[in-house]
Amino acid sequence: MNSNKPEDSVAIDVQSVTKIFKGETEVLALDDVSVQVRENEFFTLLGPSGCGKTTLLRLIAGFEHPTDGRIKLHGSDISLLPPNKRPVNTVFQNYALFPHMTVAGNIEFGLEMMGQAKAERSATVDRMLALVQMEELKNRRITEISGGQQQRVALARALAPHPKVLLLDEPLSALDLKLRKEMQIELKRLQHETGITFVFVTHDQEEALTMSDRVAVMSAGKILQVGSPRDIYDHPTDRFVANFIGESNFLNAELTKVSKGKGMIKLASGAELDASLPSDAPAVGPVSILIRPEHSQLTKRSSKAPLSGSIDNIVYFGTDTHFHITLETSEAFTVRTQNKPGFEGAFQIGDQVSLTIEPDAVQVLKD
Amino acid sequence: MTQQNSSPSMKTAKEVEEFARRQDTKNRLLLASPAILIITLFAAGPLLIVVLYSFLTAGDYGNVKWIFSTDGWFSVFMQRDIFDDTLQIADAHVSIFWRSIKLSLLTTVLTAAFGIPTAYFIATRPLSQRNLWLFLITVPFWTNLLVRTIAVMELIRGEGVINNVLRWAHIIDDPIQMMFTDFAIAFGMTYVYLPLMVLPVYASIEKLDFRLVEAAYDLYANRWKCFWRVILPIVKPGMIAGSILVFVPSLGAYITPRVLGGGKNLMFGNLIELQFGQGRNWPLGAALSISLMVLVMVALLYYVKVSGGDDNNEHR
């Protein structure tokens, strides 16, 4: 979408990278992956375990080298540089803090290895401690602080050398829910304050949506879609992406018209609706479409409605209620409505209902 | 439950609890009694006897006379000149102490030099292979120490394997004299005590989280810095344990210096044996034994202090 941005705003340029792990059986971890991470953005690699997201991160960090393809950092090829020669730092999943050093010692380590003078180092350490609000624990041993505090030290340690890019490998997965929410906000703040490009790996879709400027959804060694969280959520172009992020209703429909990136689809009921198309638009004919559960509303039964069916089940979730509906085409469909105080809702299990669909809610999928 | 407020039942409950606690203490003592008995009989007891003997007079044909004397302790460090009876430092003893310490330190350094890379090698093998390697390391342990020492002798003696191979290859013409030297003792002890270094070092390397190594590389450390600043401090406890396990028995080694050192290169253990055997001076032997023990304890305390102190100046 923004591919016409100037070249110098690209921080990391991954160019058709393939990674094969050779062992007893060869494992194709990354299959011809190309992606660009822009400068100063919070970029997230999202996918289930084993999708290759961590491998891609390790390739950028230098712990692995690509079997094929190139990785560029601000235009220069770093594919074969060892990790200690790359201006890139990592926050590890288990933090990997040095257990025999203090909090300050851990943060200072990278600066010392870079050969900074002592005075400069301690100034940076103090600045980093302030940044992650850990001043009081400066001289504590790593074994004496909590998991959340270790997380902050790991961040401070990786940020201290002021890397061009900070890589974060599922850093929040070991924290409990409350702490995780706090750290999500904290990370966003740190990224904003330091102006460093963040590449964040997670399998948690909510984390990806709330924190990222852009998200790349990965599966089976490939990047399926790259876009803003809103883009990815509202307009997933792939069934996997739609399923992985949020809840989805998939329906069969017929694509009747394609013009200027927009399309028209026809449902089984005969109703015609505007639809968003994936980038490589499919030909006119039968397609799968996606409608998010909250982009549809229940109404009284009407013959003019695009979709009709009967309510199978109603599930109360506190903030909202899910209505499970079997359509006349016998496809399953879920509608999510937000609950209002003191209002039980007008629909019962077994009711015959119709559905309205909000404008711009229909997305045509690639498959 | 129905009698909750009545005092008799409360009292009973308290008594039961009290009884159970007493019973518990009694049972614990009872359970520990075999261990206490063994420690008293076989560890503390003999030690006390040795201390006692060191303060008695030597008997004419070995054994002791029950007369208090500090002669044993006196002769550990001092001796009277045979001709004019002047007091001298017992330089024969001092040189044996010194040789023992020197050779034990050398053995510790050599086992570390060979053992640490070996332990690293084993710890980085796939899990399925490690047990086999560890097994191979411990195999010599199942063989009698004397037999193993004689095997070493077979290697290094004048007509031994090493000399024969070197002569066959025309690298040397005359056999190198290796037997009955300090080198022979250090070589033999290094061979004998190597597993005692490998095993604890292996255990600590195996526990090392290799992600810490990655973290060090990520933070701009080169290989050397990574080893020196991250791997070594974490593996250090294993190396300390290994060093103690090698140094302590080396200091008291008896068979190896006896076989490989011949008669003239005595070590502490041989000196003690001499007093209880040919020397027929049990009090001196006892005093030497205790001196050795004190020496080991001082060395250990110093070692623990030095290695413990390191941690605090790790990062000022």
Residue type, A89: N
Spatial neighbors of B254 by CB under 8 A, at least 6 apart, are: B267, B269, B270, B273
**Same domain? B39 vs B173:** no
Q: Which residues of A have a CB under 8 Å from any CB of B? A: 61-63, 82-84, 88-90, 92, 94, 96-102, 104-105, 108-110, 113-114, 157-158, 161
For residues A296 and A361, the answer to whether their CB atoms sit within 8 Å is yes
* pLDDT band at A179; cut points 50, 70, 90: confident
Mean pLDDT of B220-231: 91
Residue B190 pLDDT more than 80? yes
Phi, psi of B175 (to 5 degrees): -60, 140
* pLDDT band at B158; cut points 50, 70, 90: confident
Residue B305: per-residue pLDDT? 80
Question: Residue B41 is part of which domain span?
Answer: 7-76
Residue B11: per-residue pLDDT? 66
Contact A97 B219 (CB under 8 A): no
Q: Where are the beta strands (DSSP E) in chain B?
A: 56-58, 64-68, 78-80, 87-89
ipTM above 0.85, yes or no: no
The C-alpha atoms of residue A247 and residue A293 are separated, in whole angstroms, by 7
| 3-class secondary structure, B172 | coil
For residues B270 and B257, the answer to whether their CB atoms sit within 8 Å is yes
Residue A330 pLDDT more than 80? yes
The C-alpha atoms of residue A66 and residue A249 are separated, in whole angstroms, by 38
Q: Give domain A7-234's CATH number out of 3.40.50.720, 3.40.50.300, 3.40.50.410, 3.60.20.10.
A: 3.40.50.300
Residue B1: per-residue pLDDT? 44
Residue B264: per-residue pLDDT? 76
For residues A154 and B212, the answer to whether their CB atoms sit within 8 Å is no
Candidate from B215, B217, B311 with C-beta closest to A100:
B311
**Same domain? B202 vs B308:** yes
Residue A157: per-residue pLDDT? 94
* pLDDT band at B313; cut points 50, 70, 90: very low
pLDDT tens column, B21-48? 887 778 888 898 999 999 888 888 999 9
B315 to chain A: closest CA residue: A105
Q: B232 to chain A: which residues are within 8 Å by CB?
A: none
Residue B310 pLDDT more than 60? no
Residue A295 pLDDT more than 50? yes
How big is the CA angle at A96 (ends A93 and A98), to the nearest 5 degrees?
165
Contact B217 A90 (CB under 8 A): no
Residue A281: per-residue pLDDT? 67
Helix axes A118-131, A177-194, angle to 10 degrees: 130
Residue A212 pLDDT more than 60? yes
* Dihedral angle sign, alpha carbons of residues B248, B249, B252, B256: negative
Instruction: Tell me, yes or no, if B308 comes closer than 8 A to chain A by beta carbon.
Output: no
Candidate from B218, B222, B315 with C-beta closest to A89:
B218
Residue A8 pLDDT more than 70? no
Residue A241 pLDDT more than 60? yes
CA distance B229 to chain A (A): 9
For residues B58 and B283, the answer to whether their CB atoms sit within 8 Å is yes
**Same domain? B49 vs B172:** no
Residue B79: per-residue pLDDT? 78
Residue A180: per-residue pLDDT? 87
Between A311 and A173, the more confident residue is A311
Q: Give domain A247-364's CATH number out of 2.60.120.1440, 3.20.20.450, 2.40.50.140, 3.40.1710.10.
A: 2.40.50.140
For residues A58 and A29, the answer to whether their CB atoms sit within 8 Å is no
Residue A60 pLDDT more than 50? yes
Q: A89 to chain B: which residues are within 8 Å by CB?
A: 218-219
Residue A187 pLDDT more than 60? yes
Q: Structurally, how many domains does chain B consist of?
A: 2
Residue A2 pLDDT more than 90? no
* pLDDT band at B314; cut points 50, 70, 90: very low
Spatial neighbors of B19 by CB under 8 A, at least 6 apart, are: none
Instruction: Tell me, yes or no, if B218 comes closer than 8 A to chain A by beta carbon.
Output: yes
CA distance A62 to chain B (A): 8
A122 to chain B: closest CA residue: B316
As given in the structure block, the two tokens for residue B81 are 């000149």
Contact B212 A110 (CB under 8 A): no
Instruction: Tell me, yes or no, if B76 comes closer than 8 A to chain A by beta carbon.
Output: no
**Same domain? B206 vs B154:** yes
Domain boundaries, chain A: 7-234, 247-364
